[in-house]
Amino acid sequence: MPITYKYDPANNILRSYHSGTQTVSQICEHFKKVAEDPTIKQDYIEVAYCADDIEFDFTSHTARLIPIRFSEMKYKKTRKAAILIGATQLQYGIARMMKNLHEVYEPKDDIRVVRSEEEVQREINCIILAKNDLPRVSAVK
């Protein structure tokens, strides 16, 4: 099944929805569509949601193409960070695998793995604070 997405321009957040059987080519096609979408601004944050019926039709060998293809897309449009939601044990494990692949091939990519929507919002807040480089308040002694 194709990956769909909704973009919130006010907050520069792209929410992608993954369901059915996913292939490497579908994931790479998603990267291409996002890169070519003129409504999506630079330095967006992507939140990836996986449906309960998601399956992955690729091996660990072919999965390594995902961060390689993503790095090609980054020259067209930069992503500030990606937050992968692993609501179930299996989804969480797969999300961790994808994070690890990105760390090997693109160590500077900011990929975060969480389990809930509440954690997503916390991560978005942290990313925005870091982006704005707001001063940290130190404790008064």
In a domain, 140, yes or no: no
CA distance 65 to 24: 7
Q: Is the pTM value of this prediction over 0.85? A: no
Q: Residue 85: which domain range?
A: 4-132
Residue 138 included in any domain:
no
* Per-residue pLDDT, 134: 53
Q: What is the CATH number of the domain that holds 76?
A: 3.30.750
Let me know if residue 97 belongs to a domain.
yes
Q: Is residue 67 situated within a structural domain?
A: yes
Number of domains the chain is built from: 1
Calculate the CA dihedral of residues 76, 13, 92, 58 and round it to 10 degrees.
-30
Backbone angles phi, psi at 80, to 5 degrees: -70, -45
- pLDDT digits 0-9 by tens, 115-137: 999 999 999 999 988 866 655 44
CB 22 within 8 A of CB 3: yes
Report the C-alpha gap between 52 and 32 in whole angstroms: 25
Size of the chain in residues: 141
Do the Cβ atoms of 112 and 84 come closer than 8 Å? yes
- What are 44-96's pLDDT values in tens digits? 999 999 877 777 777 777 777 777 777 776 667 889 999 999 888 988 988 89
Read off the pLDDT of residues 84-103 as tens digits, 9 standing for 90 and up.
998 889 889 888 988 998 88
Q: Which helix (H) or strand (E) holds 112?
A: strand 111-114
B/e letters for 70-91, b = 16+ CB within 10 Å, e = fewer, are beebeeebebbbbbbbbbeeeb
User: Does some domain include residue 137?
Assistant: no
